[in-house]
A and B are shown apart, each in its own frame.
Chain A
Amino acid sequence: MPSTQTPPIAGVAIDPTSLRPPIDDATIERVERSNLRVRLETLKAEGYTMLLDLGAVDYMPREPRFDLVYHFLKMPIVASSVAEVGTPKRLRVLCAVNDGDVIKTAVDLWQNADWAEREIFDLFGLSFQGHPDMRRIQMPYDWEGHPLRKDYPLRGPGNERSPRPPFALKSNVQAGTPPTGRTLEALQEQVKKAQGK
């Protein structure tokens, strides 16, 4: 049975930023994992004072598997009028990492990376070295598995009631998948009735 989360073979985004020119107002930059920490320190020194968001994306059959996405804003600290704020520069930094790689934390540079990194650990399984409190944040503390990975089923590991995925697109339902549950019973009833039993 195909997993509900197997990404379709056609059009997997290997590196979405390389597929077309940037369509929003952010400068996009890709760094290597070995260079990540140095680059972040340089960015902080250059004036990217606000880390807006830190997220991750799972590109499952790709090597390396995950992409860490940092969103920065070059916000002047003394900016008490709209004119002084102007249009701050946005920056997006992407870094490809693998499961089990050593990733240094960014908490000492931007304090709000704290919960963002905990969430990435919880939902993706990437842990950050040097984080003061690396434990789960969204799921219960004793939960097993990392839900936002592509090989984690949508309904949770024990709850796959039906081999038909919850989102039955033509391309991800194998031909010949039978209906399940009440539909199956109803069909069987109909067949029995038709056969006169």
Chain B
Amino acid sequence: MSMSTPLTPEIVSQEGNAMVLSMGPQHPSTHGVLQIMLEIEGESVVKAEPEIGYLHTGIEKNMENLFWSQGQTNAERMDYLAPSSNALCYALAVEKLLGIDKDIPPRAQAIRLLQMELTRIASHCVWLGTHAIDLGAISCFFYCFDIRENILDLQEAAGGARMHPNYIRVGGVNGDLPAGYLERVDALVEKFPGRMKDLRGLLQANPIFQDRTIDVGIMTAEEAIKWGVTGPALRASGVAYDIRKAFPYTGYDQIEFDVPTRTEGDAYARFLVRLDEMEESLRIIAKIRKVLNTPGPTVVDDPKIVAPPKETIALSMEALIHHFKIVSEGFRVPPGDVYQAIESPRGEIGYYIVSNGENRPYRVRTRPPSMYNLQCLKGIAPGNLIADLVVMIGSLDPVFGEVDR
């Protein structure tokens, strides 16, 4: 079987009890298709080598053959727990290349911010549900997915689909928020603190949960930076790097919010940081909700990039021509390269896009936060039990669509 890897066990212990075990790629606790080649002695891990590539989709090559606006659908399918964040990063990068990044109307920016924070909460819900299930706290899964259902309903109302809404596009967002949307956001904001209290009550002071996560998978700040870890895992190790604060985008510099940070660097710290982030996201949503009361345009005013509204096609020849050109040929992006990074729920997601003047990208390189977060397993896993390895993978929150692309 072509799964044989050239990893040969080095027998480290005196008794010579080391065994090579392949954990995955189909495993309930690896959060997706991850294979970890473990050298173990009894239950403790001597060496852990994650093997990725089981979900390699060739998205980067695919995007070189799709229009700029079609590439956004592929981008959304990379980090499938937070699709709006990939879409936003891609849209921001292309807008920078086009030179329209200063022209995005404030309402579009506010809607994008709202979608980002909703996606952040939804993604952390899945993280918490699956992390808790790995540790045996199965009822937490149901609470988390119930919260997520509300958010997915909102995404479906705005974009049309639950999971890959395709709502944030180059030039703005696809259509204004539907009627009644903001009232539903208000209802969510009201209901959410009670649900958060439930989640905290289930796990935070639970002695079994604490036993399993405190002092497990400790990563110092220096180690985290050495491995290129970003996001909540880095903030739990004491480095308060959040791109929303360091390199603000889409209106984050006008909203006041905190960045939760811890210094212990273990799995419990990462858990607390993410829970705090969920609550902080809710506060941001409550603030941006007020901004969204004022109506305004939701796309940039450039008919060569964003198709004019469908109603105008019957009335105006130029609108018809623009529509035709955009649908059949797409828009052309001036040549150049750009690196745009945003704070996804997993860390810093970056797009390095090279354009050569055509209507499709020349190269799209994604900086996947989960891949670098996962790589640090090689450094922090040895010396722990296999059960601790499960906790560590859960606390790092990898998404394999992003790791393998």
Contacts and interface: CB of A to CB of B under 8 A. Distances in A.
A139 B227 contact: no
A86 B58 CA distance: 36
Interface string A10-21: 111100110110
B97 interface: yes
Nearest to A69: B352
A186 interface: no
Interface stretch (A34-42, A46-54, A173-181, A189-197): A46-54
Most A Cβ at <10 Å: residue of B53, B338, B357 = B53
A39 to B, nearest CB: 19
A87 B247 contact: yes
Contact of B335 (A19, A55, A81, A90): A19
Given A11-B356, A13-B354, A166-B65, A53 B335 contact: no
B175 interface: no
B240 A80 contact: yes
Given A52-B350, A57-B365, A11 B240 contact: no
A135 interface: yes
A55 B372 CA distance: 13
B404 A138 contact: yes
B208 interface: no
Contacts of B359: 169
Given A69-B365, A137-B52, A154-B62, A88 B96 contact: no
Give the size range of B's interface with the partner.
35 or more
B238 to A, nearest CB: 5
Given A20-B334, A26-B339, A141 B355 contact: no
Contact of A112 (B51, B222, B226): B226
Contacts of B4: 141
A38 B263 CA distance: 34
Chain A interface size, under 10 / 10 to 19 / 20 to 34 / 35 or more: 35 or more
B241 A75 contact: yes
A23 B241 CA distance: 22
B348 A52 contact: yes
A148 B60 contact: yes
B14 interface: no
Interface string B218-236: 0001100111101000000
Contact of A7 (B52, B97, B225, B356): B356
Contacts of A51: 228
Nearest to B262: A80
Contacts of B225: 49-50, 75, 77
Most interface-central of B4, B339, B352, B362 (chain A CB within 10 A): B339
A139 B2 CA distance: 11
A166 B67 CA distance: 12
Contacts of B242: 82
B61 A82 contact: no
B6 interface: yes
Given A7-B356, A110-B226, A87 B246 contact: yes
B155 interface: no
B363 to A, nearest CB: 5
B5 interface: yes
B56 interface: yes
A62 to B, nearest CB: 11
B335 A16 contact: yes
B97 A23 contact: yes
A53 B228 CA distance: 8
B375 interface: yes
A85 B241 contact: yes
Contact of A24 (B64, B99, B339, B375): B339
Contact of A57 (B2, B240, B363): B363
A138 B246 contact: no
22 contacts: A13-B355, A49-B226, A55-B352, A56-B365, A57-B354, A57-B363, A69-B365, A85-B239, A85-B240, A90-B247, A110-B228, A111-B379, A114-B378, A115-B372, A138-B52, A139-B53, A139-B56, A142-B2, A148-B61, A154-B62, A167-B65, A167-B66
Given A71-B352, A139-B56, 8 more contacts: A16-B335, A16-B336, A53-B367, A55-B365, A71-B350, A77-B225, A135-B6, A169-B360
